[in-house]
Amino acid sequence: MKIVIIGDGKVGYKLAKQLSVENYDVVMIDSNEKKMRFAVDRLDIACVTGDGASAEVQKQADVPHADLVIACTSADECNMLSCLIARRLGAKHTIARVRNPVYFGQIGLLKEDLHLSMAVNPELIVADEISRLLLFPDASKIETFVKGRVELIEFPIPENNRVIGMSLAEMYNKLQIKVLVCAVEHCGEVLIPDGDYVIRKGDRLHIAASHREVELFFKILGKHREKIRKVIICGGGRVAYYLSVQLCSLGMQVKIIEKNEARCEELCELLPKAVIINGDATDHDLLIEEGIEDADAFVSLTGMDEENIITSLFAKSQGIDKIIAKVNEDRRARMVEDFGIDSIVSAKTATADAILSYVRARKNSQGSANVETMYQLVDEQVEALEFIIKSETRYTGIPLKNLSLKPNNLIACIARKRQIIIPGGDDCMEVGDSVIVVTMEKRLEDIEDILV
């Protein structure tokens, strides 16, 4: 499968790195020659230096024979135009990163005329993720499947919790709730556990269940935080805008602290229900003055990872329970988790996951099951994929206990019409089901790939 990526920014580079590892034929276009040399030296890809919106440059990158063109430069207009030109030249499918709320709000009108297969809005994806974390503050990370009906949550086991020392089989039996532990992280090691696994202090569990069952799980564990009502957001960019719209509609009190005065005036018009403060969020005196100690949640969304980390650590020192920081650099994200900041979000990772889901689905469009959604977990060591079974195959209608799975693979959940099934040995997969698979293998494209 031939893929052309236009734009060698954070998202473009991450996509090129992951796709080249999965043996896709990748060509990257960017006008910055230094970046192109850096990419060629480190990745197994071809590079073309030039303007991605130029038909001549696209021809040099062999766009006319491309299966997919992904335009992810920093300019929405360039991305949309590049995709239009790519389709005119013969590219089969195109994806554009579109971040401007005005453009994205009318993408339904533009998509057909631009011949776009998909439009990705990183800031909206991240705002959705943060909103879920604020609605469900016990979790440190939440991914959703089956249009939000199934959740995969990351949950750090607190000290002295009643489940420490229990095997998973024992926990399921005693608690009598329909959840499944899909992956366990402990001291940097990751495994996909069976029922004999014994929960230890310091474990981070990745649990699949319906929203209602997850709520019940936390209540039974006695780990249920109060609902979040007051939120302080540092930084007034696009993520803050999308997030504030969602939180205000849920009745939460939102206060945004933004350095740029002109942007503050814009936000005052766009968000009449939010309080907008013009100031520097790294000024600890300002945060105290604005009532940080009374906030239920603190979300740091400035454009600088370092600022987000520093302000989040200060919020932690003020006793705030729920802290979320936007950290795009992978190495910094790993470091921040050690500091005790419970939730990290990344626009780069969210965008890459959304686009990789589409790529896997396209590659396997002739298979028995389509990839609908994909997330990378635990520092990209684990993948969680949602497949939709399209046709009868050797594994449909067979009880799971009679199917042999390769090691480090797990069928975590089956969604059938309105029913959410945490599967046991007697359950079967059927045509039309959404099936969530958790795996430590890479390049999974079909449910067939996990069977012996």
Residue 339 lies in a domain: no
Q: Which residues contact 419 (CB under 8 A, 6 or more apart)?
A: none
Q: Report the alpha-carbon distance of residue 298 to residue 161 in Å, rounded.
A: 26
Helix segments in 22-135, DSSP class H: 33-42, 55-60, 76-89, 101-105, 107-114, 122-135
Residue type for 182, please? C
Phi, psi torsion values for 345, nearest 5 degrees: -120, 155
The conformation of residue 50, written as its DSSP 8-state character, comes to: S
Question: Does residue 11 lie within any of the structural domains?
Answer: yes
- 3-state class (DSSP) for residue 272: coil
Cβ-Cβ contacts under 8 Å for 343 (sequence gap 6 or more): 130, 133, 139, 140, 141, 322, 323, 324, 325
Cα 109 to its chain centre, rounded Å, is: 26
Q: How far apart are CA 389 and CA 210, in angstroms?
A: 20
Do both 112 and 168 map to the same domain?
Answer: no
Same structural domain for residues 160 and 82? no
Is residue 148 domain-shared with residue 111, that is, in the same domain?
no
The whole-model pTM stands at 0.86
Assess if residue 294 is contained within a domain.
yes
What letter represents residue 395's amino acid? Y
Residue 85 structure tokens: 């030109």
Q: Which residues pair with 142 in a beta bridge?
A: 153
Is residue 316, in this structure, part of any structural domain at all? yes
Query: Are residues 109 and 17 located together in one domain of the fold?
Result: yes
Which residue from 274, 266, 265, 277 is spatially nearest to 243, judged by alpha carbons?
274
| Res 109: pLDDT | 83
Q: Which helix (H) or strand (E) holds 256?
A: strand 253-258
Q: How many CB atoms lie within 10 A of CB 431?
A: 14
In single-letter form, the type of residue at position 215 comes to E
How many structural domains compose the chain? 4
Any long-range contacts for 135-142 (C-beta under 8 Å, 24+ apart)?
Answer: 135/228, 135/250, 136/214, 136/215, 137/225, 137/228, 137/296, 137/297, 137/321, 137/322, 138/218, 138/223, 138/224, 138/225, 139/214, 139/343, 140/204, 140/342, 140/343, 141/343, 141/344, 141/377
For residue 364, what pLDDT is reported?
A: 61
Contact status, residue 58 vs residue 78, Cβ threshold 8 Å: no
pLDDT of residue 130: 95
Q: What is the pLDDT, as a whole number, of residue 123?
A: 92
Residue where a domain stops, chosen among 120, 135, 157: 120
Mean pLDDT by 10 residues, the chain (452 residues): 93 92 92 93 94 96 96 94 96 94 87 88 93 88 89 87 91 89 90 92 91 86 79 96 96 96 96 96 93 94 93 93 89 74 86 86 66 83 91 92 92 92 93 94 85 88
Q: Among 180, 215, 250, which residue terminates a domain? A: 215
Q: Does residue 419 belong to any structural domain of this protein? A: yes
Domain CATH code at residue 75 = 3.40.50.720
Q: Are residue 442 and residue 388 in the same domain, yes or no?
A: yes
Same domain, 76 and 115: yes
Residue 190, domain extent: 143-215
